[in-house]
Structure formats: structure tokens, C-alpha cells
Amino acid sequence: MTRTARTVTVIPPTINPITHLHGLSVRKRRVAGYARVSTDKDEQFTSYEAQIDYYTQYIKRNPEWEFVTVYTDEGLSGLNAKKRDGFNQMVADALVGKIDLIVTKSVSRFARNTVDSLVTVRKLKEKGVEVYFEKENIFTLDSKGELLITIMSSLAQEESRSISENVTWGQRKRFSDGKVSLPYSQFLGYERGQDGIPKIVEEEAALVRRIYALFMDGKTACAIAKQLTSESIPTPAGKEKWSVSTIESILTNEKYKGSAKLQKRFTVDFLTKTMKVNEGEVPQYYVEFSHEPIIHPDEWDAVQEEFARRKTLGRSYSGNNVFASRIICGDCGGFYGPKVWNSTNKYRRTIWQCNAKFKGEHRCTTPHLDEETIKAHFLAAFGTLLDSKEAILENCELVRAKYTDCSTIEAELANLLREIDVVTELTRKCVEENAASAQNQSEYTTRYNGYVEQYSATKARVEALEQERTLRLARADAFDAFIHTVRNMDTIPAEFDDRLWQKTIDNVTVKSNRTLVFKFQNEMEIEG
């Protein structure tokens, strides 16, 4: 049998080693540059402009390259690509075939997040688009490109972590030193003083005081927001429409009473900049007398107590009148509400009666009341209270001390938190042991579920104790406001005062015999 001679066929190359394009076409590589500076401060602007000019000339000098454009992002961090419009547009253009090569200064200019960097590089690589990092001399389509990009991105990410931790340390150092800083551009009532301490802006402070006064006059946050919007008063952020959350934020911010609670929120992920409310994960700092108050501390405390009271009422609260959600029917326990009689003639008047008086088979026998009667009875009851002023104040101080003494609660909380730490560690070890070696899954499940149940029960008890502590301190604040109000009064006011009513009255019960029982904030009841 004759042996056939060996033949060799040459297969020509299909990739241009210079342009990395398919075929031996002489078409130039379409090249774009990417420039970014991570701050928008003036001193970085020169660097930003210089990068654009540099890459424009750098690309145009290469005879094998065709200049596309230089994509830019100014004043943005490289930690996350989501908000980088220039970067995102460049990637989109590359993926639809408008770019063959992207040139950028370094890995850290491209992305400081390893995940973003690698995902983007791989996405571009699938479409045959290469990235060249000049500083590190890395071409991503090289065999060693991905390993190098991974290493360099990780180093850049750790650099960002280090910077973030340094910034966090600096912030917490300022907090521990009691240094207060406000978002002045969106904070009503204050501006930065020459010494760095918040300084009152009187025109804005007047609006803050008005908001507090409207709230204590019985209006809800929603009603206040609608009123300010209708008066075309701009919000702290300069918007036309006031939101309920903005009003509530102003009414509950301790900075208006001259104090400051620092580190209410903190960053949980330096890459995404995700923030969360501080629920005890990191230290907080409370600075008293940190700056001049706009609202007197006693008035601020009274507002917090009124907030707590309305919250317990839920939907039952109405903010249309100071008497709303304060007057209770002695028959059914429901609230009295306003009713308009003779609304279409000159005898028109507003009376208050039980909202359920004519509902159902049972008819409440409690009488209706006009506002002048309520006011007169209140002044008489308050006069009775003033007759025993000193004894009442002494008793209030004792009760207030009882409410503020949370030592038993604190001790139990400390024990429970230690128990949570132990259970958490036992759960972690249980899971690790099951992952590391073969376990009886029935026994593992029983043990794991036991830890979870113990954790849940302990956590529920912690939440109950924390709520109890909050309620006790709220009652203590109410006693503070009551003590301050009564101590400064020696005689019955000549006229009914809405603020006096708000600060001293808890509720009023109307009996069938027309008797009114006034329950004051000190829990004392007086018939009037």
C-alpha cells in the first residue's frame, strides 16, 4: 500500500495583532478616553481639564487609532458606577460597537469597587472591547489582564475602605468632643456662626416657633403643612409644598432646644454609601447646651409628650380644636366631638357632645357642652389645684423621680443583651460546625431552632423593656412641663389659655349629672 505524502495547509491569521480586529483590515481601532476626578472642589478642576486634553492628544498621536471622544465624570466617586453618567454612556456605546479600545489613567480612576470593575471589564471583553490602564500598563484582553485587574482593583478598594474608615473616625472624634454641625442649607432657623457654633436666624426662628405653637394649639402635622403651603412659605429645602415628615422632623429635633444628639445615622457599607438609623450598633453622643435654643426646653418637652399622647390615640385624634380627643363620655368612654347647631341662621353655634350619642340602641345620657362652659369649668378646676400648689409640686417631684428611675429596666436590658450576644455566638458556631463536618441533621435542626427561639424571645423582651423605658421617660417629661407651668403661676388666669390647657390637662370626663372630672398631667383628678 502506497503511503500518501504529508501535506500542510497554511491557514492565514484572522486577527490583526495591532488592531485586535477580526480580519486583516487596515481599519483603525476606534479609541475613547475616560477621565474622572473624585471631587468637585476647585483645586481638582485643573486635573480634570488636564486629563481630557491629555487623552485627546494621546489618542490622536497614535496613527493606528481613530479618536472617538473622551468620556468624563466630574465630582463623582469611583466606588459605585450607578451615578457615573459619563462612564455608563461610554460602556453603552462600547457594547453597541462604537468603541474598540478604552484608555484610562489607572484602575482607581476606572473603579474602586472590585465587583463593578470586573463585571464591566468582562462585559466589554465579551464584545471584543479592550481597556488599557496606562499607569499599570494593563491590557484587559491579555492573558494576564484579568488577574492583574483583580489584584489592582482589590488594592484600590482597600484604599477606599481605609479612606472611609479615616473619615468615620474623624466624624466620631468630633462627636465625642461635642462639636455640632448642621446641614445648614436645609435646616430651618440656624446658620453657621463664625466660631462654628450654630447661630439663630431670627426670621426663620420665628417660623419654627410658629410651627411649635400651631402644634400645641391642637393642629396636626398634616394641617400645619397644608397651612404653610397655602401661605406660599418655602420649605427649608426651598420647595413650595410642605410635607408631614418635614413638620414632624422640626417638631421632634432636639437641636431646637439647644441640645444635639449626634450620630443618629451611620454608614453600613462604604461601597454603596448605604445609611441606616443608629439603633445601638455604634455609639451616640448627646450634647446639652451645645448652642442657643429657639424653643425653650420645657416647651420642647411638652411637644414630645403631646406627640406621644396623640400616638396612643391613633386615628381617634383630631387636630381641629384644643378640645379634640380630650373630652370623654362618662357613659360609653368615647370622645366628644364638635357639632354645629343652626348652621344657616344667626343662632349658629358650636357645641360638644358624645360622638356615639345617637348610635346603636344605647343612648348616652351625658349632656352636650358649649366651649364657654368647658373653659369656665377648667379655670375653676385649675384654681382648686393652685390652692394646694406646694403640696402638689412636692408630690410631682416624687412621681417624676419614680418615672425617671429606670435602673431596674437598664439592669435587665444589660443582662438580656449579653444573653443575645451568647446566643448569637452559639448559633454561629452551630452553623459553622454543620458546614465543616457531617452532622445528624435532625439534631442540628433541633439545636438550631432552639437557639433561634431563644433569640426571638429575648429580643422581644428587649423591645418590650425599651418601649416601657420610653413611656416612663415620656411621662417624666410630661411631669416636667406640668411642674414648670404650675410653679410659675400663683393666680387663676383671667381668661382661658389654650397653652395652659395643653400643658396641664390629660383628659376630661363628662358625667350624666353634668359634672366634669378634669384629669391633670400629674394624674390628679378634680371635679369642676
State how far the Cα of 52 lies from the Cα of 74, in Å rounded to an integer: 11
124 neighbors 112 (Cβ within 8 angstroms):
no
Q: What ranges do the domains of the chain cover?
A: 29-164, 184-295, 327-527
pLDDT at 45: 44
**What would you report as the CA-atom Rg of the chain, rounded to the nearest whole angstrom?**
35
Q: How many CB atoms lie within 10 A of CB 329?
A: 21
**What is the number of alpha carbons within 13 Å of residue 152 lying toward its C-beta?**
23
State how far the Cα of 332 lies from the Cα of 354, in Å rounded to an integer: 9
Q: Read off the amino acid at residue 63.
A: P
Residue in this structure with the C-alpha cell 454608614, named with its chain if needed: 267
pLDDT at 41: 45
Provide the CATH topology of domain 29-164: Rossmann fold (3.40.50)
State how far the Cα of 372 lies from the Cα of 390, in Å rounded to an integer: 29
Asked if CATH classification 3.30.930.10 holds for the domain at 184-295, the reply, yes or no, is no
pLDDT at 170: 47
Do 184-295 and 29-164 have the same topology in CATH?
no
State how far the Cα of 214 lies from the Cα of 306, in Å rounded to an integer: 12
State how far the Cα of 154 lies from the Cα of 117, in Å rounded to an integer: 10
29 neighbors 21 (Cβ within 8 angstroms):
yes
What is the DSSP pairing of strand 29-37 with strand 101-104?
A: parallel
pLDDT at 241: 92
Contacts of 199 (CB under 8 A, 6+ apart): 190, 191, 192, 193, 291, 292
pLDDT at 229: 93
H helix or E strand, kind and range, residue 401: helix 389-404
Residue 225 grid coordinates = 403643612
**Alpha-carbon dihedral angle through residues 264, 267, 273, 277, given to the nearest 10 degrees:** -40
225 neighbors 249 (Cβ within 8 angstroms):
no
Estimate to the nearest angstrom the gap between the alpha carbon of 333 and the chain centroid: 38
Residue in this structure with the C-alpha cell 387636630, named with its chain if needed: 319
pLDDT at 421: 87
Cβ burial 218-237 (10 Å sphere, 16+ → b, else e): bbbbebbbbbbbeeeeebbe
pTM for the whole structure: 0.46
Per-residue pLDDT of the chain (528 residues; tens, 9 = 90+): 556 667 666 666 655 554 454 544 557 899 999 987 765 444 444 566 777 888 899 999 999 999 999 998 875 544 444 567 888 999 999 999 999 999 998 877 776 566 567 778 878 888 889 999 888 787 888 766 666 665 655 555 555 555 555 444 444 444 445 455 667 778 888 888 887 778 888 999 999 999 988 888 778 888 899 999 999 999 988 899 999 889 988 998 888 888 776 555 545 444 445 555 555 554 555 666 677 888 888 788 878 877 777 776 655 555 567 888 889 999 998 888 888 887 777 778 888 999 888 776 778 999 999 999 999 999 999 999 999 999 999 999 998 889 889 999 999 999 998 998 898 888 888 877 876 777 788 888 888 888 889 988 998 999 899 888 888 888 888 888 888 888 888 888 889 988 888 888 889 999 999 899 999 988 899 987
Phi first, then psi: what are they for 161, rounded to 5°?
-60, -45
Cβ burial 20-47 (10 Å sphere, 16+ → b, else e): ebeeeeeebbbbbbbbbbbeeeeeeeee
